[in-house]
Structure 1
Amino acid sequence: MYRREKLGKDLEEVKIQNASKQIVETAILQAVQQVYQEDEKEQNKPSSRAERQLPDGKCNTNNDKK
C-alpha cells in the first residue's frame, strides 16, 4: 500500500512541476512579447526633435537668434 501512495504522490508532483513549468514559460513569453511591443512603439515614435520641427524645416526652440 505504501508503494501506491508514493506512486500517487510522485504523479501529483510531476503534474504540479509540469504545470509550474508551463506557467513560467507562459509568463516569460508574455514578458518578451511586451518588451518587443514596447520596443516597436519606441522605434515608430518620432524623436523629440522631429516633433518640434516646424513645417519650413526650422526647429521650434527658444535658442533661435533674432
Structure 2
Amino acid sequence: MTKRERRSFSPEDRLAIVQEGQREGTTATCRKYNLSPSLFAKWRSKYLAKGVEGLKPAYPRVDPAVRALE
C-alpha cells in the first residue's frame, strides 16, 4: 500500500484543467490528471459562478515568517 501525497494546484492550473475538461470531456480530463469527478465538478461550478476568482483559495495565506514574528 502506497501513501498518497497531497497535491496542490494553482488557480492557473485549475483554470486550464476546467477549460480542457470543457473541450475534451470530463471523464478523459479527470483520468489524465488523476482527479475525482466530484472535485472537477466543484472547480467547474466555482469557475462558472465567479470566474477565475472562484478558483483561488478562499482562505487568506499567511507567510510563515510573519507568523513567526507574531
Shorter-chain TM range is under 0.3
The structure that has the greater radius of gyration is 1
Query: What's the TM-score, normalizing by structure 2?
Result: 0.22
